[in-house]
A and B are shown apart, each in its own frame.
Chain A
Amino acid sequence: MKINYILYGFGILLCLSGVGYLAVQYVKYLSELGRLISLLLTIGMFASLGKFFESVGW
């Protein structure tokens, strides 16, 4: 069971590093609308993730 949480954490870190890499590389090429939508989606993603962990019991 504990190994599962370690794998979840590893997966989340990989996802965040992937998005971070894309953000560093390509955020300068995004249009203003693209940046706004990305920002809103990022907020939505972390909010949903937080609610998911809350419902799991973390």
Chain B
Amino acid sequence: MTKRRDIYLYLTLICFFAIIAIFVVDGYMGVYDTFRITAGERPQKIDPDFWLRPEATTYETWVAWGEKVFFDYEIANHRLTGYTAEVNASVWRSQEKVRDLLTQPVTIGGLQNARVEFAVDTAELVPDGVSQGQSVQYSIQVNRDNIERRIIIRINPGSFPVPPKPVIEPRPAQPG
């Protein structure tokens, strides 16, 4: 009876440590990336689990025209071995690349983090022929290995540069 009781206890312990092993190996080990975006004065954070959600393909933010959007891309290497990759960031619109923002190789030691920073100046992005009230969207595409992250920036249409209004001279007073 005592031996059988011990078997149940051992089975419990085996299951418990197996669960912990799965959490460590499958849940913690790996390479994870976090975005910190400052659009205008609004700081935003995109945690790694955002990209793991099945419905999440892109993240969208907005900014007033003329302001810069600052990106802080953090790569966390949760592995015991080192990690080397090249980070590419570019601006896209209508499936066409508008400009490259960054190409930077990163080398991260085991259980270390690395950060890559870049910025997008929206004043340089608004295409010609955009009228007042029209929303303009650009995609910021960040590639690392075979992983692609896409962040949509919507430029506030109400803040495009307004052409100066014609000055109307006051009509001279009618005599009499």
Interfacial residues, chain A to chain B (CB-CB below 8 A): 15, 18-19, 22-23, 25-31, 33-34, 37-38, 41-42, 44-45, 48-49, 51-52, 55-56
Contacts and interface: CB of A to CB of B under 8 A. Distances in A.
B15 A26 contact: no
Given A29-B48, A38-B22, A44-B15, 11 more contacts: A26-B28, A27-B23, A29-B26, A29-B27, A29-B28, A29-B52, A38-B19, A38-B23, A41-B19, A51-B8, A55-B5
B3 to A, nearest CB: 10
Nearest to A29: B27
A29 to B, nearest CB: 4
B11 interface: yes
B27 A41 contact: no
A37 B23 contact: no
Highest count of chain B CB atoms <10 Å: which of A23, A25, A34, A38: A38
Given A28-B49, A28-B52, A42 B19 contact: yes
B1 to A, nearest CB: 7
Contacts of A44: 11, 15
A15 B27 contact: no
Given A22-B20, A38-B23, A55-B4, A29 B30 contact: yes
A38 B19 CA distance: 6
Contact of A19 (B1, B20, B48): B20
Contacts of A29: 26-28, 30, 32, 48-49, 52
